Chain A
Amino acid sequence: MTDPTLLVLTSLADGDKHGYAMMLDIEQFAGTKLGAGSLYGAITRLEKCGWIRPVGTGERRQPYAITGAGRAYLEREVADLGRLARTVAERLPA
């Protein structure tokens, strides 16, 4: 999974995080080092779609939280990925 938007949503699924925390978290769970440009590109798009929102009191290190719509989107995507993974497992010879 390398889509920055899915990586950001996954990172926020277990709690609010600011940019640097997301970067470290993504590196840990996905093994992908997301660049600052890609990370903030994804944050911009996700906020525009209403899938994440800024939280806190206007600090420089701005934390973000996943919204209900974001969580629903992530669940749909994960379900799709799960189906795809099962299909691949069935079709690949053992």
Chain B
Amino acid sequence: MNWITFLYPRAWRERYGEEFSALLEDAPPGWTGVVEIAWEALKMHFELMNRRAFAGCVVAGLAVAAFVAYRTPDKFASSAVLRLSGSADVDPEALTSEGAKLLRELLSRTSLSNLMQKPGLDLYKTERQRMPLEDVIQKMKDEDLRVSVLPEKPGSKEFAIHIAYNGPDPKRAQDVVETLVRRLIDEHQNSQHMTALRLARQELTDADAKTAALGTRLEVLDPASHPKTGISPNRPAIILAGLFAGIVAFFVVSGVRRHVWATVAGAVASFATWVLVVLYLPHQYVSTSLLQTDSSATVQSFVTNRELLAIIRDAAVTQAAPGSVKPGDIRVEATPEPRGLRIAVRSYDRFAAQRANQTTISGLVEHEARRRMAQGLPVRGPVTPWVEVVDPPSLPVRPDTPTFVLPLPWWIVLAGFALGAGTVARLRHNRPVPIT
């Protein structure tokens, strides 16, 4: 039978498939002919289907989508804009460095975990009960919190910092942004205070102090807004997804109804396989850390120098976790904003992952110090250290199992249908199915 006949419903194929294939042999279709046949095949699917069941599935899909759409709580976005500017004495590099320092303090693990647990805010309460704090912080950064530096002309002596947060209610979203703005201002004042103190102690020269925090000014351009309308969920999109899911469900149910035992057997077999895989596949853990630096040269020297990375990885494996971590399990990536390096170590032993991460950081820091000294560069800047561990190596709590195992429903559905289809193909018989 010609492959294109498989676009038609099975019942139709069993009645007309052979003669249709004979016609295609006599008059082979061009690409427009293939499109025409595909369109007619689709029409045939709709003509031969059970319209009541189709309508039922679509209505069910829409009903579930409507329920989900209206039960999903709204999210409200509040935002604020600040400006960090420098006096005439300030070097643009020093201004950028001061801005980066403020942002990494603001986005550090300690700062965000304090924010979440602040009385009155109590963010992600349910998530904090179920997930490790690391993951909740990551979720906050990935989904709800946006801190960005609005681009200015190169060499400009001012730039804007935009802070936005999506919260479950307008008041709380505004409170979070207000708190972050206040922290940024406090941090800046603290930095200025420390610089002044070091200047008084004569640890810094007057010129150094002016080019650092003392020469910068942080001001609020737009205070935290009070959002009036929600930004999510996208209810029309959810309803549309429900409609699509209903149509898909109809075709799935139609297939399952005809080969119910094969499909159930496939699903059971795949579930059993999944259970075995989960039970016997050892879990892997990932320890992460974040280093930030005031120099893009530092980042580049690590990311591009593969030989150096290999040496540092080998040293980390030998010193911290021989047998538990392989050099390939240590990943060092550049993070664009704020500028720095993200280190992730994967291992079956979570303590070994953390140890190897710590040793990798030590290796990186040690190498960078030697490089700077060799080039006659200061190992520490006037105020800020040249490299800082913003997020120290985490001790992973939850295993990061291989992604092909998760999520469970997809595994069951996909594997179930694959096995079901395979079984059906083997058991297929030639009994004609009447077209109704």
Contacts and interface: CB of A to CB of B under 8 A. Distances in A.
Interface of A: 18-20, 23, 35-41, 43-45, 48, 60-62
Given A36-B24, A36-B29, A48 B435 contact: yes
Nearest to B15: A44
A35 B41 CA distance: 12
Contacts of A38: 36, 40
A20 B40 contact: no
Interface of A: prevailing SS: helix
B40 A37 contact: yes
B39 interface: yes
Interface residues of B, number: 23
Interface in B14-39: 16, 18-24, 26-27, 29, 33, 36-39
Nearest to A24: B27
Contact of B19 (A19, A35, A45): A19
A35 B23 contact: no
B41 A23 contact: no
A56 to B, nearest CB: 10
A35 B435 contact: no
Nearest to A42: B40
B22 A36 contact: no
Nearest to B436: A48
28 contacts: A18-B19, A18-B23, A19-B20, A19-B23, A20-B22, A20-B23, A20-B27, A35-B29, A35-B40, A36-B20, A36-B24, A36-B27, A36-B29, A36-B33, A36-B36, A37-B33, A37-B36, A37-B37, A37-B38, A38-B40, A40-B20, A45-B47, A48-B435, A60-B18, A60-B22, A61-B19, A61-B23, A61-B26
Interface string B322-359: 00000000000000000000000000000000000000
Interface of B: prevailing SS: helix
Q: Most chain-A CB neighbours within 10 Å: which of B20, B24, B47?
A: B20
A38 B40 CA distance: 6
A66 B16 CA distance: 18
Interface of B: 12, 16, 18-24, 26-27, 29, 33, 36-41, 43-44, 47, 435
A36 to B, nearest CB: 5
B43 A41 contact: yes
B36 A39 contact: no
Closest 5 CB pairs of A and B: A37-B40, A37-B37, A20-B26, A19-B23, A35-B36
Nearest to A23: B27
Given A19-B22, A35-B40, A45-B47, 9 more contacts: A19-B23, A20-B22, A35-B33, A37-B36, A37-B37, A37-B38, A39-B23, A40-B40, A41-B43
Q: Most chain-B CB neighbours within 10 Å: which of A20, A37, A62?
A: A37
B391 to A, nearest CB: 60
Contacts of B43: 41
Given A35-B33, A60-B22, A61-B22, A40 B27 contact: no
Nearest to B19: A62
Contacts of B12: 44
A37 B43 CA distance: 10
A2 B291 CA distance: 72
A35 B40 CA distance: 10
A77 B150 CA distance: 72
A23 B43 CA distance: 20
A62 B12 CA distance: 15
A36 B37 contact: yes
Nearest to B8: A40
Contacts of A20: 22-23, 26-27
Given A36-B29, A36-B37, A48-B435, A41 B44 contact: yes
